Amino acid sequence: MTSVANHARIRPATPDDAEAIASAHVSSWQAAYRGLLPQDVIDRNDLASRTATWRRILAARSDVLVAEAADHTILGFAGLSPSRDEDGDPATTGEVQAIYLAPPAWGQGTGRELMAAAVARLASTGFTRATLWVLDTNARARRFYEAAGWSPDGATKSDDRHGTPITEVRYARPLPPHASQAGTWRLGDLTVRRMGFGAMRLGEQTGRAVEVLRRAVDLGVNHIDTAAFYFSANELIRRALAPYPDDLVITTKVWPGRHASGEWYWASPAQLRGQVEENLRALGRDHLDVVNLRVPPSGSTGSIAGHFAALAELRDQGLIGHLGVSNVTPAHVAEALAIAPVVCVQNRYGVGAAPAEHDFVDACGAQGIAYTPFFAIATSDPEPAAITETAAAHGATAAQVRLAWTLQRGSHVLAIPGTGNPGHLAENVAAATLRLTDDEMALITTVAKPQET
């Protein structure tokens, strides 16, 4: 996965990066330890030997991230691994073996983004805790780690490999939940994590939208649902995430639209090209990963063939990668499949759905079609006892239980909860770790059924 910092692109290192990483390593090491280690030790850290070392490392392992400037200069790196400590569990504890940033990049925010990416990478591997070691007298580094959420855990060790005794202090931190813990699904040839993000609310939260979007990617989200008619959502996505992470999949939708006056309209088949191009411009892309045809409420019993065929033609022209449908019936899906492949259905669905809607979800799974509910965490007042009691049993919120129930309805079900609040975002992603029992699933499903009269 590639993530994007304010001033750098964070990506996995390749063997071709060896010399550039070595250069950043040497300059950072010499600047960081000047005055903390003897000068002869500082001087021994030369570029040639570091380059040779990095060539060996990168030929054998892939758990190194680099921060790369727009001109492709390597600004720094982070090396990751399972815990190497005798008292550490390598199955649950990851380690930041090293993190260095060339001095010209200090104080620019790139170090924070590199550390965030390192933490996210460890979390995506399944670790729940992370550690690192730091020289006890390196006050600058210790301030940096503490500002990033790390704290000493009481462990220390002595090291004299540089010819002079030094003491290192171990820092630790819990790892945040990660979207990968929900599993993945393929939309055609695109692999997405089943815990995604819906952008509908971003236009109402422009002040925090960029922060929330970047945080979502840090937490492993690689599937974002949007639309040109979501106010300024597409522009905010572009501002926050372009150049886009390599694995990011953006799904948008067309048919509804807004005139410059703000007035709503429903596009004709011929107007769909303009809506697709509007999304392309706002997102800054040359093609759209997935486009859903959003059917108007008045079209619930009518044909979608003309509109879907128009999108299929745009797909054939390379403007669209894959097609989906939204706000549809099983008959609509059958009609669309007769024209072109359908990778996803996006409908309103969640706790409280009618039996026919549960059947539709199951039918999509049987056909290998993703089902992406919107308003999956819409709450009721009061919440059903099955929700509140399950939440209490797991130490979770009602929204998290609703999300967990939705995800456990099938491996083809994708969640796209939206929020403009970073705290709520973390809670939503944490629902990926919540596992409801069969009895809890059945109970929640049962109370969703209409009462017999």
Residue 430 lies in a domain: yes
In a domain, 241, yes or no: yes
First-to-last CA distance in the chain?
53
Handedness of CA 173, 243, 258, 269 (dihedral sign): negative
Distance, CA of 199 to CA of 209 (rounded, Å): 9
Tell whether pTM > 0.75.
Answer: yes
Q: Are residues 217 and 126 in the same domain?
A: no
Indicate if 8 and 82 belong to the same structural domain: yes
Q: Is 242 among the domain residues?
A: yes
Length of the chain: 453
The CATH number linked to 62 is 3.40.630.30
Q: How many domains does the chain have?
A: 2
CATH number of the domain to which 254 belongs: 3.20.20.100
Strand partners, 64: 79
Residue 124: how many other CB atoms lie within 10 Å: 17
Catalytic residue among 33, 100, 145, 230: 230
Instruction: Give CB contacts under 8 A, 24+ apart, made by 340-344.
Output: 340/308, 340/309, 340/311, 340/312, 340/315, 341/188, 342/369, 343/187, 343/188, 343/290, 343/369, 343/370, 344/187, 344/251, 344/290, 344/292, 344/369, 344/370, 344/371, 344/372, 344/414
Same domain, 291 and 262: yes
Instruction: Looking at the structure, tell me whether residues 167 and 267 fall in a common domain.
Output: no
**Domain limits for position 142:** 3-174
SS3 158: strand
Of 153, 174, 195, the position where a domain reaches its end is: 174
Q: What is the pLDDT of residue 56?
A: 95
Let me know whether 224 and 316 are in one domain: yes
Number of CB atoms found within 10 A of residue 261's CB:
5
| DSSP conformation class of 167 | E
- The answer as to whether 453 is a domain residue is no
42/111 same-domain check: yes
**Distance (Å, whole) CA 248 – CA 241:** 9
Residues 186 and 157 placed together within one structural domain of the fold:
no
Distance CA 444, CA 138 (A): 53
State the pLDDT at residue 40.
83
- 291 & 272 share domain: yes
Could you give the CA distance from residue 367 to residue 362 in angstroms, rounded to a whole number? 9
Q: How many CB atoms are located within 10 Å of the residue 408 CB?
A: 18
Residue 377 pLDDT: 85
Burial (0-12, 13-18, 19+ Cβ within 10 Å), 239:
middle
Specify whether 183 is located in the same domain as 141: no
Q: Please, what are the averages of pLDDT over each run of 10 residues along the chain (453 residues)?
A: 60 95 94 88 87 94 91 96 95 96 93 92 90 96 96 93 84 93 96 97 77 92 96 94 94 93 92 97 97 91 95 98 98 98 97 94 98 86 91 95 97 96 92 95 77 36
Residue-by-residue DSSP string for 280-298: HHHHT-SSEEEEEEE--GG
Question: Is 330 in the same domain as 357?
Answer: yes
For residue 301, give every residue at least 6 positions away whose Cβ sits within 8 Å of its Cβ, in sequence order, or none: 329
Query: Is residue 138 a part of any domain in this protein?
Result: yes
Q: Active-site residue 230, yes or no?
A: yes
Residue 116 lies in a domain: yes
Tell me the C-alpha to C-alpha distance, in Å, between residue 63 and each of 37, 122, 250: 28, 9, 27
Q: Is residue 261 part of a domain?
A: yes
Point out the domain boundary residue: 174, 192, 217. 174
Local structure of 390: helix, strand or coil? helix
- Of 152, 174, 196, the residue that ends a domain is 174
Same domain (yes/no): 78, 206: no
3-class secondary structure, 234:
helix
- The answer to whether residue 216 is domain-embedded is yes
Q: Give the pLDDT of residue 452.
A: 38
Q: Residue 251 is inside which H or E element, if any?
A: strand 249-254
A 10 A CB-CB count for 383 gives 16
Residues 215 and 125 in one domain: no
